[in-house]
Amino acid sequence: MIRVISLLLGLLVSANLLASDDWQQYKSRFIAYDGRVIDTGNNGISHSEGQGYGMLLAVAYDDQDSFNQLWRWARKTLGRHDLPLFSWKYDPSVKPHITDSNNASDGDLLIAWALLNGGRKWQNSNYLNASRRIRNAVLDNMVHEYAGHLVLLPGLNGFTGNGYIDINLSYWVMPALLAFAAEDNQPKWRALADSGEQLLALAKFGDAQLPADWIRLTNKGKMTPSPHWPTRFSFDAIRVGLYFSWAGLGDDPALQSIKQFWNAGGAKPPAWIDVRTSEVAPYAASQGILAIKALLSGQSISADLSADDDYYSASLLLLSKLAEKQ
């Protein structure tokens, strides 16, 4: 179960412990003038996840001007009109730009956590109030009991069916859940984090015994890789190691198979593996994934941003450094 951590989660490390060059590069390459975070590996779209990552990094690097730009763009462009949640996808190449108004609960959690951190750091009640509204909306709309588990729906629409739901364990942003539990004195946040641990321990598929990116949970409690997505331990599920480590849970036994898979691949493990067929990616893991591997192994993360890093790899690298320093 969740262990007591020696620091107050959500209060990020001071900027002087981090390499400011990384942040300057990140801003120049991935953040537009108006505060839109650009997913360079995904045809230049933007999404709530990217805004949340950018806002978290802005707090960590004590860059309130950038934080305000990022938050303004997220609020005005992605903010939904019915709930204080966010449409997950913005595509600059088509009109209307919001091509999918469904939310993504991990993006909602990341933005709420960044606002909580920013509100504390800069003593800004507007940030704190906005974070609280998002948190309440997530609890009221996205967290449900199902098949004996407390689950986080990935979005408001499209993830439930006749006798099943599809979940994504990388949407459990564990350090955010613990920060919210402390801030709100709300046991449901802690229970959701505990449930994430329990579900990860059960999500062991194929010879490698790894979690798939997307998992189908039936009303009987059975878990299988969801047939609606590639049955891979891939670019979603790799974040589980980052979030668990960041929450002080890097030694959780449920992470052992992830560590074994990455260690078996040596210095350059494959980027993904199909948990059903054991087919592996024909290309190596990115620098961002390698940073999570180092974090789980207790190794120092010494890599700097490189020209080869796209938005996602760069984000994982900087966030892993943040988790390491915290």
DSSP string for residues in 155-223: SSSSSEETTEEEE-GGG--HHHHHHHHHHHT-HHHHHHHHHHHHHHHH--BTTTTB--SSEEEETTS-E
106 included as an active-site residue: yes
Task: Name which of 44, 40, 41, 51 is nearest 92 in CA terms.
Answer: 44
The number of C-alpha atoms within 13 Å of 101 and in the hemisphere containing its C-beta is 7
Task: Establish if 4 belongs to a structural domain.
Answer: no
pLDDT (tens digit, 9 = 90+) per residue, 152-167? 999 999 999 999 999 9
* Whole-angstrom distance, CA of residue 216 vs CA of residue 38: 30
For the beta sheet containing 223-225, the strands, ordered from the edge strand earlier in sequence to the opposite edge, are 160-161, 164-167, 215-218, 223-225
Task: Establish if 247 belongs to a structural domain.
Answer: yes
Task: Establish if 5 belongs to a structural domain.
Answer: no
pLDDT by position in tens, the chain (length 326)? 444 344 444 444 555 567 689 999 999 999 999 999 999 999 999 999 999 999 999 999 999 999 999 999 999 999 999 999 999 999 999 999 998 899 999 999 999 999 999 999 999 999 999 999 999 999 999 999 999 999 999 999 999 999 999 999 999 999 999 999 999 989 999 999 999 999 999 999 999 999 999 999 999 999 999 999 999 999 999 999 999 999 999 999 999 999 999 999 988 999 999 999 999 999 999 999 999 999 999 999 989 999 999 999 999 999 999 999 98
Query: Of 22, 39, 63, 106, which is the active-site residue?
Result: 106
Query: Of 39, 49, 166, 274, which is the active-site residue?
Result: 49
Q: Which two tokens stand for residue 264?
A: 């078996």
Task: Establish if 7 belongs to a structural domain.
Answer: no
Task: Establish if 8 belongs to a structural domain.
Answer: no
In the chain, the amino acid numbered 3 is: R
pLDDT (tens digit, 9 = 90+) per residue, 262-290? 999 988 999 999 999 999 999 999 999 99
Q: Where are the alpha helices (DSSP H) in the chain?
A: 20-30, 48-60, 64-73, 105-122, 125-141, 174-184, 187-202, 239-246, 256-264, 287-297, 311-325
**Which residues contact residue 199 at a Cβ distance below 8 angstroms, ignoring those fewer than 6 apart?**
149, 151, 167, 169, 215, 217, 223
Task: Name which of 208, 239, 210 is nearest 225 in CA terms.
Answer: 210
Task: Establish if 88 belongs to a structural domain.
Answer: yes
Q: Evaluate whether 276 touches 231 at the Cβ level (below 8 Å).
A: yes
Task: Name which of 184, 180, 152 is nearest 166 in CA terms.
Answer: 152
In the chain, the amino acid numbered 159 is: F
Task: Establish if 3 belongs to a structural domain.
Answer: no
- How many domains does the chain contain in total? 1
Helix (H) or strand (E) holding 149: strand 149-152
Residue ranges making up the domain that contains 288:
15-325
Task: Name which of 281, 279, 253, 284 is nearest 268 in CA terms.
Answer: 284
For 249-287, letters b (16+ CB in 10 Å) and e give bbebebbebbeebbeebeeebbbbbbbeeeebeeeebbb
Task: Establish if 174 belongs to a structural domain.
Answer: yes
Q: Evaluate whether 316 touches 291 at the Cβ level (below 8 Å).
A: yes
The domain spanning residue 64 has which CATH number? 1.50.10.10
Q: Is 79 helix (H, G, I), strand (E, B) or coil?
A: strand
Q: Which two tokens stand for residue 107?
A: 């993006």
Q: Evaluate whether 101 touches 90 at the Cβ level (below 8 Å).
A: no
* Whole-angstrom distance, CA of residue 131 vs CA of residue 53: 15
49 included as an active-site residue: yes
**Residue 39 β-bridge partners:** 45
